[in-house]
Amino acid sequence: MSKKTVKRIYVIGMIILLIAAVLNLVLEETLLNPFIIFGFMFILLAVNIYNNTRADGEDQPK
């Protein structure tokens, strides 16, 4: 996948998890366990960092 696609997945995933975290605070019953939310955020962040540091030359200017 290109770096732009991974960045788009990262941003959309973080927005969804942020909405889930806010709904956990607002609603009386929790939708997701907070540890699951933080786990998914950590996975998304790790994939994004790996994607930014890999040297594949895919998006480098010529």
pLDDT value of position 56: 59
pLDDT, position 6:
86
pTM value is: 0.73
Q: Is residue 62 part of a domain?
A: no
Question: Does residue 58 lie within any of the structural domains?
Answer: no
Q: Output the pLDDT for position 53.
A: 84
Amino acid at 34: P
Q: Provide the number of structural domains found in the chain.
A: 1
Per-residue tens of pLDDT for the chain, all 62 residues = 788 888 899 999 999 999 999 999 998 888 888 899 899 999 999 988 888 887 555 555 55
What is the reported pLDDT for 30?
82
In a domain, 59, yes or no: no
Three-state SS for 5-60 is HHHHHHHHHHHHHHHHHHHHHHCCCCCCCHHHHHHHHHHHHHHHHHHHHCCCCCCC
Give me the residue label for tokens 């975290």. Answer: 21
Position 15 in a domain? yes
Residue 11 lies in a domain: yes
18 lies in a domain?
yes
Range of 21's domain? Answer: 3-53
Residue 60 falls inside a structural domain = no
